[in-house]
């Protein structure tokens, strides 16, 4: 799992790469949460364009960051999903949250 976190204005973007599974989701969660706590962005963007594989742990990662940003009064956007990842997110019902780009 690789990641890069950058901020521009009040938006923080986390570019994720590699496999997002139960082994790597915890590390990614810790890194993103620490950056959100430190930088206090209004908008968090998770860019999945580098994800080659994702299991249900990825859904959990997204839902946790969605709740975190809601508690902080901000928003979450998920971008760059492959067709396979998008299908998984749709099956999980995440389209109802209006976070998928």
Closest CA to 28 of 37, 38, 19: 19
Kindly report, residue by residue over 45-59, the tens digit of the pLDDT.
Answer: 999 999 999 999 999
User: Quick check: 99 pLDDT over 90?
Assistant: yes
| Mean pLDDT value of segment 80-93 | 94
Residue 73 DSSP class: T
User: Quick check: 69 pLDDT over 90?
Assistant: yes
For residue 34, CA distances in Å to 37, 54, 69 come to 5, 22, 13
Considering the chain, what percentage of its residues have pLDDT values greater than 70?
A: 100
What the block records as the tokens of 42 is 């209004």
User: Are 7 and 41 within 8 A, CB to CB?
Assistant: yes
| Mean pLDDT value of segment 61-86 | 96
């Amino acid at each position: 799992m690789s990641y890069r976190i950058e901020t521009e204005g009040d938006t923080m973007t986390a570019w994720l790469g590699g496999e997002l599974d139960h082994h790597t989701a915890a590390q990614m969660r810790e890194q993103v949460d620490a950056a959100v706590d430190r930088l206090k962005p209004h908008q968090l963007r998770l860019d999945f364009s580098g994800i080659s594989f994702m299991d249900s742990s990825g859904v959990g990662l997204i839902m946790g960051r969605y709740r975190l940003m809601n508690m902080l009064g901000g928003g979450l956007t998920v971008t760059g999903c492959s067709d396979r990842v998008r299908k998984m997110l749709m099956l999980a019902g995440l389209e109802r949250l209006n976070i998928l780009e």
